[in-house]
Structure 1
Amino acid sequence: MRGLSVAGASAAASPLLLGLAAAAPHKQRAPQYVVNKQRADEVKEAFQVSWDGYYKYAFPHDSLRPVSNTFADDRNGWGASAVDALSTALVMENWDVVNQILEYIPTINFDNTTTEVSLFETTIRYLGGLVSAYDIITNSLSLGIQKQPDVEAILTQAKRLADNLKVAFDTPSGVPDNSLYFNPPRKGGSTTNGLATTGTLILEWTRLSDLTGDSEYAELTQKAESYLLHPEPALGEPFPGLLGTNIRIEDGKFEDGNGSWGGGTDSFYEYLIKMYIYDPERFAEYRDRWIAAADSSIKYLVSHPTTRPELTFLALWRGKELRFSSQHLACFHGGNFILGGLTLGEQAYTDLGLALVEGCHATYVGTATGIGPEVFAWQDSQLPLNASNNQPPPEDQTAFYEKSGFWITNGHYVLRPEVIESYYYAYRATGDTKYQDWAWDAFQRINKTCRVGSGFSSIKDVNAPDGGGFDDFQESFWFAEVLKYSYLIHAEDAPWQVKADNTNEYVWNTEAHPIRVAGGK
């Protein structure tokens, strides 16, 4: 494969933030926000419809199949949708649903499952959901709950689950095996783990240590993270701060230098800045590694499509060669850059974040449904158009690319939240109501296209007027993320809302579960 000179792949890099080494999170004036109760109430109605369908046809199983009115146990049969829905029900103050879930949580048997357990998915959905609920109820909210819940039971269940998951870290290096089996807990025998599946555990497990006083949970994940903060060998870090994907469990060494801000690697970068927000004193090195990744992204990855050069996307990398493709999953990056810019007081990051939000917005408004695709591509405007890694679109998408600035390589929509997530951060950073309007438009399009039967379903083709048919599946993160972001962008201020002036009381895990920062406020 021909090597790529990346000098033309971006504008100039942002300045290295040398003065931040000893700085605390930056404070600035908060923007003014507009509450839109009618929109917020309509999102709450969609939550109730989704919950009612799940509760009638699927509870206490994991997920609803809304077309066939059946269920799936895709997350070990522990009631993933119920646990994922709890923090959203709490912030919506939907007490009926809160009480139903609180009654259920102590009954979950986290010792028993017949299917493979993902350390990553179980951490972000179940452990994150439980720790978040404990934090919200004990620190910010209790009125409206029918009877004062045994909140210690929530924490006990979180600890019970983590104790079963700990076996994952019993490896020669401490890099965990993401594939586990229970009855009894044991590793699946993997030889590698991924960047995201290793690097997206630290927030939930550290919070559990801080709540229980048992340091082991934090120590396990921080040891695993150490291989990502100091990657070896050199091929694992093709650009400063930007890493490969696969890590050997035996010794913590990287097997490749292929990565992106998309699936498989995404939330590692997300958690670097979020850990600094969680505790600036303990996690200053995580901030520094986020800065390195952000600066390299600006210097090497920023790309503009030939037909719409005003749009901004981030390329993925195969070693030092770029590929001009991205994902709905990667569209969280706009919000993450905005959060980093606010936290560090560095406008270059916020500006890139807002530009990335504009790019991901274009992927929504460009399709027949008004919903963005799972995967899309473009031709870079600065590289030679005959470069091997910069080919034009297929003939049948040429007209679409001319108009939209991207073409679709996977047209599915699986109820993903990342674009609305970034609208939320853009709004909280700026107070600009256009982001509320964009989020509202996206919600309406999803409501129109994905609402079916007893709930909401993923669809097959965002560029077909009717969505191309239903997959008959309502993801648990529909409750945790899409509905929460869609609600909070229109709702009143609250302790869990992201604060532009960095008086944050909570930082959100990658499943959008608000977790109390270490110092509180």
Structure 2
Amino acid sequence: MRSETCWALLIVGVAGSAADRAAAVKQAFQLSWDAYYEHAFPHDQLKPISQSGDDSYGGWGATALDGLDTAIVMGNQVVVNQILDYVPTIDFSSCNQSSVSMFETTIRYLGGLLSAYDLLNGPAANLVNETSKVTNLLTQAASLADNLKVAFTSETGMPYNGIDIQNQTIVGEPTNGLAAIGSLVLEWTRLADLTGNAEYGNLSQKAAEYLFNPQPSWVSPWPGMVPDNLNISTGEFISDSISWDGGSDSYYEYLIKSYIYSPSRFSSYRDQWEEAVNSTIQNLMQNTTTGSGQNLTYVGTWNNGTFSATMGHLVSFIGGNFLLGGSVLQRQDLIDYGLALTEGWYAAYNSSATKIGPGALSWNATAAGDNGQTDTYDELGFYYTASSYMLRPETLESYYYAYRITGDEKYRDWSWEAFVGINSTCWTGSGYAEINNVDNTTQGGGFNDLQDSFLLAEVWKYAYLIQADDAEWQVSSNGTNSFVFNTEAHPIRVSGN
């Protein structure tokens, strides 16, 4: 049960010290973990309504490995050791699913194992007394990668996404998405550096020659921007859709993060990122005006020559990515754009009855009229095109970067408002669940029976870190960082540190 202190904090909303807020988020994490541990462990995720388990990610305990480094940064020694005791029991050569996703397995499991290893070998070493428990993390990370390597057996060396682990075969067509191909470098290169086996890094970096020089050349209308799907057997793109949305998002995210990890090895990734953000500013970024005259900034999509003024919640991480890159490259213009993009999604969160942002929004005035949303558009400058909330972290992620880079306390307040909304609306009594309608304060218009692993990996981590004291794993305001977060919010120690 929540303590009376936590309840009081929830009632007062944005009141309370940063330390009190951080403590409340730690308690929400504990509630999430306890419900998962009781009803679903070692399955991948909790189904809180039916109080059962979900095995969408291979059945290796995704929530445990996703939540491990969050427990570490929160100093939760009990949960840390519960998970560490489980890690060596996992058999990554056996799977209860017909196939697993190379992308999802890398960002959740491999990222989680490596992050915990880096933290427990460094600034959080005090949490574990037995060195073998930490060594097991790297051993299991290498075991997992060895079972995933079959994904790189295409003619070009670019990875397939579907893998039958037990039979070591490929599942599906010889196509893959941009994010699934381009979001492996950080984890696989870190594994190479830690083990001394360069093969891991070389395999993941092979895709760059195809992604940085897209073929046929006409598929890239602007420098640095490429479509969301390609044939990995030929190396040619087969899509006309260009965006920062799901399927493409973390490719752009990893360009600058790879550079942060190792500037000497990934300077070309930095160059690609700068081209992409410059093209995004010029071609995909738009402003909309609210009824009170406030200007809001959003990023649309480009499909076969047609611009669409829509933006999904997944894309709201872009503010944080611009802020991170702007701080590292000392580009104030990118910091300013990042803050504007972050403010656009705060407006979306602030507009709902629950103070949680919608699954997607649009600022297309014509479409608003066609959908009977003219009044809403005139007042807010946007309207919802999807009202659900899938326990997603992306807006909280941008709040985190905004606070860490500017020090402005309002971002802490924004994050706390969102936390209060999520904590009170998504709680089921036995874990947290996705909701159908962010504008409905009665259980969010109904629950979807799933507590996603990234609730523990990302939502609670960003909500906690923004209120927490400075630490080695925190993002720095001066552009010099000891850790860089993968797309699942797992802090990876940068090369050389």
TM-score (norm 1): 0.90
Q: Name 1:434's counterpart in structure 2.
A: 410
Does 2:326 match 1:336? no
| C-alpha contact 2:70 2:461 (8 A) present in aligned 1 | yes
| C-alpha contact 2:368 2:383 (8 A) present in aligned 1 | no
| C-alpha contact 1:393 1:407 (8 A) present in aligned 2 | no
Q: Which amino acid aligns with 2:495?
A: A
Structure 1 residue 500: deviation in Å? 1.2
Structure 1 residue 229: deviation in Å? 1.5
| C-alpha contact 1:35 1:492 (8 A) present in aligned 2 | no
Does 2:238 match 1:255? yes
Cα deviation, 1:458-486, whole Å, max 9, x if unaligned, reads 00111223211000110000000000000
Question: 1:510-521, aligned counterparts within 5 Å?
Answer: 510-520=487-497
Separation in 2, partners of 1:114, 1:455: 24
| C-alpha contact 2:289 2:296 (8 A) present in aligned 1 | no
Q: Name 1:392's counterpart in structure 2.
A: 368
Identity, % of aligned positions: 51
Q: Which amino acid aligns with 1:56?
A: E
- Of 141, 155, 158, 1:175 maps to 158
Q: Classify the secondary structure of the residue corresponding to 1:292.
A: helix
| C-alpha contact 1:378 1:393 (8 A) present in aligned 2 | no
Does 2:477 match 1:497? no
Q: Which amino acid aligns with 2:259?
A: Y
Aligned pair in 2 of structure 1 residues 119, 35: CA closer, same or farther (>3 Å)? farther
Q: Name 2:355's counterpart in structure 1.
A: 370
- Of 451, 466, 483, 2:460 maps to 483
TM-score (norm 2): 0.94
Aligned pair in 2 of structure 1 residues 455, 317: CA closer, same or farther (>3 Å)? same
Does 2:426 match 1:418? no
| C-alpha contact 1:340 1:349 (8 A) present in aligned 2 | yes
* Structure 1, 67-76 or 392-401: larger mean CA deviation: 392-401
| C-alpha contact 1:235 1:256 (8 A) present in aligned 2 | no
Q: Which amino acid aligns with 1:314?
A: V
Cα deviation, 1:155-201, whole Å, max 9, x if unaligned, reads 11000111111001101111211011121221114221010000000
Q: Classify the secondary structure of the residue corresponding to 2:126.
A: coil
Q: Name 2:430's counterpart in structure 1.
A: 454
Q: Which protein, 1 or 2, shows the higher relative CO under an 8 Å CA cutoff with sep ≥ 6?
A: 1
- Of 3, 15, 27, 1:45 maps to 27
Cα deviation, 1:361-402, whole Å, max 9, x if unaligned, reads 1111111221111111112xxxxx7xxxx6434443222222
Aligned pair in 2 of structure 1 residues 156, 144: CA closer, same or farther (>3 Å)? closer
Q: Which amino acid aligns with 1:429?
A: I
Does 2:35 match 1:58? no
Moved over 6 A (4+): none
Does 2:404 match 1:404? no
Q: Which amino acid aligns with 2:491?
A: P
Q: Which amino acid aligns with 1:353?
A: G
Separation in 2, partners of 1:69, 1:256: 41
Separation in 2, partners of 1:208, 1:130: 10
* Structure 1, 482-491 or 187-196: larger mean CA deviation: 187-196
Separation in 1, partners of 2:192, 2:219: 30
Q: Classify the secondary structure of the residue corresponding to 1:139.
A: coil
Cα deviation, 1:265-307, whole Å, max 9, x if unaligned, reads 0000000000110011100000000000011111111112254
Structure 1 residue 146: deviation in Å? 5.2
| C-alpha contact 1:142 1:148 (8 A) present in aligned 2 | no
Flag structure 1 segments of 5+ consecutive residues without an equivalent.
Answer: 1-33, 380-384
Separation in 2, partners of 1:167, 1:437: 46
Question: 1:43-442, aligned counterparts within 5 Å?
Answer: 43-115=25-97, 116-145=99-128, 147-305=130-288, 307=290, 310-379=295-364, 391-442=367-418
Q: Classify the secondary structure of the residue corresponding to 1:515.
A: strand
| C-alpha contact 1:316 1:325 (8 A) present in aligned 2 | yes
The structure with the largest helix share of the pair is 2
Aligned pair in 2 of structure 1 residues 393, 375: CA closer, same or farther (>3 Å)? farther
| C-alpha contact 2:328 2:480 (8 A) present in aligned 1 | no
Structure 1 residue 145: deviation in Å? 2.5
RMSD: 1.4
Q: Name 1:508's counterpart in structure 2.
A: 485
- Of 429, 440, 444, 1:464 maps to 440
Count, aligned residues: 478
Q: Classify the secondary structure of the residue corresponding to 1:392.
A: helix
| C-alpha contact 2:156 2:234 (8 A) present in aligned 1 | yes
Q: Classify the secondary structure of the residue corresponding to 1:455.
A: coil
| C-alpha contact 2:94 2:165 (8 A) present in aligned 1 | yes
Separation in 1, partners of 2:18, 2:353: 27
Cα deviation, 1:430-456, whole Å, max 9, x if unaligned, reads 000000000000000001110112111
Q: Name 2:3's counterpart in structure 1.
A: none
Q: Which amino acid aligns with 1:59?
A: F
Cα deviation, 1:110-155, whole Å, max 9, x if unaligned, reads 1111312000000000000001011111122121325444322111
